């Protein structure tokens, strides 16, 4: 459990209890997962951010980061077990999330930023390095997102975009070590998930999630949809293994 | 094939970035001077391969960036130098509405007549760039989403996604 000193003093009795409670509260905040700051609304472009809750084990600061959106043959699942979604185009008009996110230039944590692009040059993720996030502080990595629109005939009311994030504290071998990286990635069979879990790395199975909300006022659900359902889109294991590494810096080859 | 594009803060690149930015701005000013009212536009430089059927395909996603919900898309195409026989055209489709514009003179810095397609707030625009004959061609595509019909109103969120690059 991470803790933060409160004025460097502790008291007895009530004062001590207050201090203890505050320390526990701050520990909870500092121990938060890496996550997405705000939900998005369909058809709206807005700024958002990846929230970094803490560094690596041993109070190690985050010095680099890799972020991958689900754009290449992603896994798609509906919250209603009776619904099968074959393709993202059944849910959102664009049919793909490639090109909808863009990194915002920011020097508060990292000194070098890069974008991951697909074969067509569309942004599918971001990478950053030459940074240091104080273990006492939380971090914000800003990005712009143009939220996709829901297909009118779809019964989806929310699109849950799972984003794979690697918070890197050291790029030295062996890389998969809880003192060197947190992997906020889906547990879906990627080499990062398999080897990371075996090494005790934190975050596997807990990717950051960007929620895209349907605008029910302008794009209401059809009557037969009832309350509708959520659709979750997740980066495939293959895309994580291919796009999460930072070329020439961190896992520039496959983990094994 | 995976690639990357870089944003670096290295001090050694600042002079080059500043110069390139100035040149880019002058180029954009020269282009917009030929098209009154086309301000705050997005531009993309592209090329078509030698085959006569070479086609670049983009999707333009309009969104509300705070200026208001989108209503229309305005597009122009400039057939860039060097001058060659083929003429470059762009077609824009939203739903059942489709429009075309062609730059009649290759390499003269003047773009085509602007076209406007009214897709409404829910539209995804299909944009095709093609040419009239075989031979490689370079072009500059100018596009922006607006809050009013027929290219009026305020500029709003404009995102281009590449679907096919020939």
**What interface predicted TM-score (ipTM) does this complex get?**
0.70
What's the pLDDT at A24?
42
Same domain, A18 and A75: no
Number of structural domains in chain A: 2
The span from the CA of B75 to the CA of B119, in Å, is 13
Residues of A in contact with B125 (CB under 8 A): none
Say if the Cβ atoms of A100 and B61 lie within 8 Å: yes
Structural domain of A189: 33-243
CA of B16: how far to CAs of B9, B11, B26, B27, in Å? 12, 10, 15, 16
Check residue A2 and give left, alpha or beta (phi > 0: left; psi -120 to 50: alpha). Answer: beta
Q: Check residues B98 and A15 and name the one with the higher pLDDT.
A: B98
To the nearest whole Å, the CA of B6 is away from the closest chain A CA by 5
Structural domain of B62: 39-164
Given B4, B122, B161, which is nearest A149 (Cβ)? B122
What's the pLDDT at B60?
95
For residue range A76-135, list pLDDT tens digits in order. 999 999 999 999 999 999 899 999 999 999 999 999 999 999 999 999 999 999 999 999
For residue range A164-199, list pLDDT tens digits in order. 999 999 999 999 999 999 999 999 999 999 999 999
Say if the Cβ atoms of A99 and B159 lie within 8 Å: yes
The yes-or-no verdict on residue A8 having pLDDT over 50 is no
For residue range A140-156, list pLDDT tens digits in order. 999 999 999 999 999 99
Q: Are strands A156-168 and A229-234 parallel, antiparallel or unpaired?
A: parallel
Structure tokens at B106: 């290759």
Model pTM score: 0.79
Same domain, A1 and A73: no
Same domain, A150 and A39: yes
Structure tokens at B160: 């281009």
Say if the Cβ atoms of A117 and B4 lie within 8 Å: yes
For residue range A33-52, list pLDDT tens digits in order. 899 999 999 999 999 999 99
8 Å CB contact between A205 and A186: yes
Computed over every residue of chain B, the mean pLDDT equals: 80
pLDDT tier at B41, thresholds 50, 70, 90: low
The yes-or-no verdict on residue A75 having pLDDT over 60 is yes
Collect all residues with Cβ–Cβ distance below 8 Å to A249 and sequence separation of at least 6.
A64, A129, A171
Say if the Cβ atoms of B65 and A45 lie within 8 Å: yes
Same domain, A123 and A93: yes
B142 assigned to some structural domain: yes
Same domain, A88 and A6: no
Q: Strands, DSSP E only, in chain A?
A: 35-36, 40-41, 45-52, 64-68, 75-78, 101-103, 110-117, 123-131, 139-146, 156-168, 181-184, 208-213, 229-234
A250 assigned to some structural domain: no
Mutate to test the interface with B, among A45, A114, A127, A131 (most CBs of B within 10 A): A45
Same domain, A87 and A22: no
CA of A234: how far to CAs of A83, A151, B71, in Å? 17, 19, 32
Which residue is it, tokens 């773009």? Answer: B111
Residues of B in contact with A219 (CB under 8 A): 122
Same domain, A54 and A73: yes
A251 assigned to some structural domain: no
Q: B102 — phi, psi (to 5°)?
A: -125, 135
To the nearest whole Å, the CA of B154 is away from the closest chain A CA by 15
Number of structural domains in chain B: 1
Same domain, A166 and A85: yes
The yes-or-no verdict on residue A17 having pLDDT over 50 is no
């Amino acid at each position: 459990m991470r803790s933060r000193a409160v004025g460097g003093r502790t008291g007895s009795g009530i004062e001590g209890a207050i201090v203890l409670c505050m320390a526990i509260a701050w520990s909870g905040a500092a121990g938060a997962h890496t996550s997405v700051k705000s939900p998005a609304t369909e058809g709206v472009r807005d700024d958002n951010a990846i929230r970094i809750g803490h560094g690596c084990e041993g109070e190690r600061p985050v010095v680099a980061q890799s972020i991958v959106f689900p754009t290449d043959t992603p896994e798609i699942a509906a919250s209603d077990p009776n619904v099968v979604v074959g393709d993202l185009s059944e849910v959102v008009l664009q049919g793909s999330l490639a090109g909808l996110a863009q990194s915002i230039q920011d020097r508060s944590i990292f000194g070098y930023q890069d974008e991951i692009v697909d074969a067509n040059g569309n942004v599918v993720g971001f990478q950053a390095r030459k940074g240091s996030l104080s273990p006492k502080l939380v971090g914000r990595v800003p990005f712009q997102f143009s939220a996709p629109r829901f297909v009118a005939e779809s019964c989806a009311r929310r699109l849950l975009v799972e984003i794979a994030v690697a918070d890197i504290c050291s790029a030295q071998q062996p890389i998969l070590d809880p003192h060197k990286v947190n992997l906020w990635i889906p547990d879906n069979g990627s080499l990062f998930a398999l080897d990371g879990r075996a090494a005790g790395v934190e975050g596997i199975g807990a990717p950051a999630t960007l929620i895209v909300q349907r605008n029910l006022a302008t794009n209401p659900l059809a009557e037969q949809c009832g309350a509708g359902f959520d659709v979750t889109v997740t980066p495939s294991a293959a895309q994580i293994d291919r796009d999460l590494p930072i070329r020439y810096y961190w896992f520039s080859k496959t983990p094994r | 094939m995976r690639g990357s594009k870089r944003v670096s803060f290295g001090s050694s690149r600042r002079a080059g970035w500043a110069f390139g930015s100035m040149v880019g701005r002058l180029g954009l000013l020269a282009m917009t001077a030929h098209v009154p009212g086309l301000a705050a536009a997005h531009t993309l430089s592209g090329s078509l391969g030698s085959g006569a059927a070479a086609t670049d395909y983009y999707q333009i996603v309009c969104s509300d960036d705070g200026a208001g919900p989108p209503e229309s898309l305005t597009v122009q195409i400039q057939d860039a130098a060097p001058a060659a026989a083929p003429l470059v055209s762009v077609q824009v489709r939203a739903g059942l509405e489709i429009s075309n514009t062609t730059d009649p003179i290759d390499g003269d810095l003047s773009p085509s007549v602007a076209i406007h397609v009214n897709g409404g707030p829910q539209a995804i625009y299909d944009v095709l760039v093609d040419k009239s004959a075989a031979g490689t061609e370079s072009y500059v595509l100018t596009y922006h989403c607006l809050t009013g019909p027929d290219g009026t109103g305020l500029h709003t969120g404009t995102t281009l996604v590449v679907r096919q690059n020939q």
